[in-house]
Amino acid sequence: MSGELWALVTVAATVALFHTLTGPDHYLPFVVMGRARSWSLSRTMGLTFLCGLGHVGSSIVLGLVGVAWGISVFHLGRTEEARGQIAAWMLFIFGCTYLVWALWRLAKGKSHSHLHVHADGTIHTHAHTHHDEHAHVHGKKGLTPWILFTIFVFGPCEPLIPLVMVPAARASVFSLVVVTGIFSVVTIATMLVMVTALSTGLQFAGMGRFHRFAHVFAGAALSVCGAGMLLWGW
């Protein structure tokens, strides 16, 4: 490869790594939802990989269309910004909705007392919760993975087009393919590494007594990620 292409590859890899690491929305949603819904690590990783493909793939398609049609970087940037706002609102609304549902579920599962009178005249009470009797994991094939995938498809890789694709396209088609490929691989790999590390850390930490609050934590984390995207452009 030429010196110019090496420089572009280095920029692509560095930008992809920094962009992913500094954006908790790239990995935190999978960690908290996987924990809350008792997904296996392989299932969580599979969803992360698919969402990562949708995340970078949508920006690559937009960038290729822009390069082919000669659309200016300014207009492509405005389009990416609009997509980012849509994705941020989708994540924030989904997180808030999930949080409300989790709090309702938690309140519904609170224990209450029953009074029992035995034949010998003994009277006693005991705590009881109907939620525990029927507690089982839902969502194995629910809408949550599809919602996350849709959000990530709308979510743009903001630096991909202006910092990576346009300079590469001006160099050559080969440079464009190599640079976008490196950006995609580094982005998805970083997402997978972060999800694996955080999920494994939570598993070793135990946190068994806090499991009943897992859905609440998940909803709160998704809401914070959405708010961070809206306020600080994560």
The pLDDT score that the predictor gives to residue 221 is 94
Say what the pLDDT of residue 1 is.
66
Q: Where are the beta strands (DSSP E) in 5-143?
A: 112-117, 123-128
| DSSP conformation letters of 172-227 | -HHHHHHHHHHHHHHHHHHHHHHHHHHHHHHHHH--GGGGGGHHHHHHHHHHHHHH
Cβ contacts of 220-224, under 8 Å, gap ≥ 24: 220/95, 220/99, 221/28, 221/29, 221/32, 221/95, 222/29, 222/32, 222/33, 222/91, 222/92, 222/94, 222/95, 222/98, 222/99, 223/92, 223/95, 223/96, 223/99, 224/95
Determine how β-strand 112-117 pairs with β-strand 123-128: antiparallel
Q: Please tell me the total number of residues recorded for the chain in this structure.
A: 234
Q: Supply the pLDDT for residue 4.
A: 82
Which residue numbers in the chain have pLDDT < 50?
Answer: 111-117, 120-140
Give pLDDT, residue 138: 43
- pLDDT of amino acid 110: 55
What pLDDT sits at residue 111?
Answer: 44
pTM > 0.85: no
The DSSP call for residue 24 is G
What is the per-residue pLDDT for 123? 47
* Confidence at residue 76, expressed as pLDDT on a 0 to 100 scale: 80
Residue with tokens 């994540």: 91
Q: Are 223 and 92 in contact (CB under 8 A)?
A: yes
